[in-house]
Amino acid sequence: MKAYVDQGLCIGCGLCESLCPEVFRMADDGLAKAIEGDIPESSEDCAKDAESQCPTEAIKVEE
Ligand code: SF4
């Protein structure tokens, strides 16, 4: 499972990093970045929570 952040939609609210810090980090530009590669299994649930709770629907979590 992989996570993606659409940089054009992210508003830098920080919610995803709060919910799932192993997968999402706020970068120097103030926008969220997802880790490259597969999400650790232990973080799959929180990554999906972040996807559903992101206010701008910037996050996609896919198989
Ligand atoms: S929750 Fe959405 S808008 Fe907020 S920082 Fe994460 S990707 Fe950006």
pLDDT in tens, 29-58: 999 999 999 999 999 999 999 999 999 999
The per-residue pLDDT for 16 is 98
Q: Evaluate whether the domain defined by 2-62 bears CATH number 3.40.1390.10.
A: no
The residue whose C-alpha atom lies closest to atom 4 belonging to ligand 1 is: 13
Please work out whether the CB of residue 59 comes within 6 Å of at least one atom of ligand 1: yes
Residue 21 confidence class, pLDDT cut points 50, 70, 90: very high
Please work out whether the CB of residue 20 comes within 6 Å of at least one atom of ligand 1: no
Q: Are 9 and 1 in contact (CB under 8 A)?
A: no
Q: Which residues contact 46 (CB under 8 A, 6 or more apart)?
A: 19, 20, 22, 23
Give residue 36 CA to ligand 1 midpoint distance, Å: 17
Please work out whether the CB of residue 11 comes within 6 Å of at least one atom of ligand 1: yes
